[in-house]
Chain A
Amino acid sequence: DIQMTQSPPSLSASVGDRVTITCRASQGIRNALGWFQHKPGTAPNRLIYNASSLQSGVPSRFSGSGSGTEVTLTISSLQPEDFVTYYCLQHNSYPWTFGQGTKVEIK
């Protein structure tokens, strides 16, 4: 099974900050990777697909990069609604696996 190690588990930042979240795969996953935002009590929302493609309707402050064994999600300028939890999901091979999540908190 492919293990997805997501870091950091949590981070504290301020509105307007630039933040980066990383997922490292135990094996190559090509670009079969999505990034998700999850607000409590709601369904998760995909931000990025194929590692770097922005989902329609998602603000351009979100971007994804990388492939192979390391991928990153960058939020260029944090907004108040961005202080929630983020997950990566690899769907290159079965079983698909999520990262452990990164909780973004207000400093």
Chain B
Amino acid sequence: EVQLVESGGGLIQPGGSLRLSCAVSGISVSTYHMSWVRQAPGKGLEWVSVIYSGGSTYYADSVKGRFTISSDTVTNTLYLELNSLRVEDTAVYYCARGAAGDWGQGTLVTVSS
């Protein structure tokens, strides 16, 4: 059974940084591509980023240059580094396997002064 457990969310001031983690079990991050998706309050789902097992990464235009996706094959963990945070980055962040076949429960990031 695939399990994805996010952590690292919280309240952060605009301009700040945060690192989200997603502990993966049941599959290996070295085998599957992994994604991050977010949902801002009252809004729809927004794809954020994907990382492939070969290391290729892709980002939504809204986060390109500010967010960095990575994975650790030893600890089987997916990460999302969030920098230069803006109020509009406030959202629940979900990690997902591949093209969102399996999802974690999400972690809330609130950007506010």
Taking a contact as CB atoms closer than 8 A, the residue among B44, B99, B106 that contacts A34 in the complex is B99
The reply to whether A44 and B45 form a contact with Cβ atoms under 8 Å apart is yes
Which of A1, A44, A94 is B100 in contact with, Cβ under 8 Å?
Answer: A44
A: number of interface residues (CB 8 Å):
23
Instruction: Kindly name the residue among A42, A55, A96, A101 whose own CB sees the greatest number of chain B CB atoms within 10 A.
Output: A96
Interface secondary structure of A, over-half rule: loop
> Which of A42, A55, A97 touches B47 (beta carbons < 8 Å)?
A97
Closest chain A residue to B58 by CB distance?
A94
| Interface-centre pick from A34, A38, A91, A99 (highest chain B CB count, 10 A) | A91
- The 8 Å CB contact of A43, one of B44, B46, B61, B103, is B103
| Contact status A45-B103, CB under 8 Å | yes
CB distance from B84 to the nearest CB of A (A): 19
Q: In the complex, which residues of chain B have a beta carbon less than 8 angstroms from the beta carbon of A94?
A: 50, 58
Given A36-B100, A43-B106: A101 and B94 interface contact (C-beta under 8 Å) = no
Contact (A87, B61) CB under 8 Å given A44-B103, A55-B101 = no
A residues sitting closer than 8 Å to B (CB atoms) are 1, 32, 34, 36, 38, 42-46, 49, 55, 87, 89, 91, 94-101
B interface residues, Cβ below 8 angstroms from A = 35, 37, 44-47, 50, 58-61, 94, 99-101, 103-106
